[in-house]
Chains A and B, each alone.
Chain A
């Protein structure tokens, strides 16, 4: 029983059809995820009353449970809660639910990369910025972020790579992402060439992950260069 490589190529072509949708989910949940993470990290750093303990519970829960469960909870659980408030959420698109689930997951994860990075910037840097009369936002942009991002970035990069792979559970609620497409092909052929299809899916995930990490590295270069100039100026 050998592997039929020409079939793998053919399948790669067919599964490629699901790449745009998968990328869409990655971009949406990645970008909103990091925004949520910033908010959550801020709440926890500032130790705001009520909000901070809530954020702690949220981060702890979503970091300790797999994305598959988040999708089930959000897709099947959230409408139950909304129904209590008289909102009928049964017709909302599945894309909205899975994005929300992945955003919540990534918000929790990424906030735990941002928070320590922020705390790693020395107190003296804050004081120095304050002493020359920088306002909060300028201080964040010119002093804190340039020092914080290089610390947080390698972890964030990992989170983005993980996100690519986390999309592979979308098929459970019937969405045709890369894995959904692979599953569909397998079942329509009665699993005649299962191995080839999974191999094709693996190659595609690999390519996307490679592209994502290359993009991240480009960005990393940019922020570290920014950091150095910032230091020179300072």
Chain B
């Protein structure tokens, strides 16, 4: 009786031991690196912080086939990292929910993901007062179609369904509220891939598609040989920002300065051309 009890306790203890063994091993690893960075900080005062971007968000941030983290925001972060000498970024790619949870729990010092400045975010996080990029809302039409120049021309046209309650849906709904006499027909649909949406315009199944420009239009068009073009000028021009945890005031100021420098010296424009096929920064006038 007692021995059986003993053996179950042993099993539990063994389990706990192995776990804590793992943990303490890892811990010494962490301590070692902490000690190391401690040594570095006394020399050059470099502090390593975890930062998170969204996974699978091509071309903003994604893992390529070789498993490397690449994308527009990854490149911007790396450029920022180079300008800030006393911080080192350790970039992680996770789902969008996870970036925000991680920022709120202090796991990440900074997150990205094509974030707009919203009152809610400004209240919860530190948003540096400098854009990391520009997101354009474009109207995409068939190359043969010259009848659509702005949102006004979408009245009576067949529009590709938009994600319910997404940014585009809200934009179109807002337009309808402002123009009671001119109503755009909005339909909703979820889970339609970006490529399929462009394809349906190319195949003339739909007349037009309203979509942000940072979803890989240039590459999809080329890959699938689509007959689709973006209407200029864009419907809406939004700056995108990094968000930092409330206690990262020092880092936030440095990121802001670095982003301003990168915009002035043309790095952001160059990266925009690499990843979006055009300089989107020039549309942003603030």
Contact = CB atoms under 8 A, between A and B. Distances in A.
Interface string B28-48: 011101100000000000000
B196 A191 contact: yes
B83 interface: no
Contacts of B97: 172
Interface residues of B, dominant DSSP: helix
A3 to B, nearest CB: 14
B19 interface: yes
Contact of A192 (B2, B7, B26, B193): B193
Contacts of A194: 193
Contacts of A183: 55-56
A56 to B, nearest CB: 16
A188 B215 CA distance: 11
Nearest to A45: B8
Interface string A39-83: 111110010000000000000000000000000100111011001
Nearest to B191: A194
Given A72-B101, A76-B105, A187 B57 contact: yes
Interface in B88-111: 92-95, 97-98, 101-102, 105-107
Interface in A88-105: 88-93, 96, 100, 103
Contacts of B63: 176, 184, 188
A190 to B, nearest CB: 4
B19 A32 contact: yes
B234 to A, nearest CB: 20
Contacts of B18: 32
A35 B12 contact: yes
A136 interface: yes
A186 B58 CA distance: 10
A174 B53 CA distance: 10
Nearest to A190: B195
B14 interface: yes
A176 B55 CA distance: 11
B105 A190 contact: no
B12 A39 contact: yes
B189 interface: no
A172 B12 contact: no
Contacts, number: 141
Contact of B56 (A46, A77, A184): A184
A194 B196 CA distance: 10
A186 B56 contact: yes
A135 to B, nearest CB: 5
B194 interface: yes
Given A35-B11, A91-B30, A188 B6 contact: no
Contacts of B29: 91
Interface of B: 1-9, 11-12, 14-15, 18-19, 22-23, 26-27, 29-31, 33-34, 50, 55-58, 62-65, 67, 92-95, 97-98, 101-102, 105-107, 193-196, 215-216, 219-220, 223-224
19 contacts: A32-B18, A75-B107, A76-B107, A79-B107, A90-B30, A92-B26, A136-B3, A136-B5, A136-B7, A172-B97, A172-B98, A174-B92, A174-B93, A187-B55, A188-B62, A188-B63, A190-B195, A190-B215, A192-B224
Given A92-B30, A192-B220, 14 more contacts: A35-B11, A40-B12, A90-B107, A92-B27, A93-B26, A136-B5, A174-B98, A184-B55, A184-B63, A187-B55, A187-B56, A188-B65, A190-B220, A192-B195
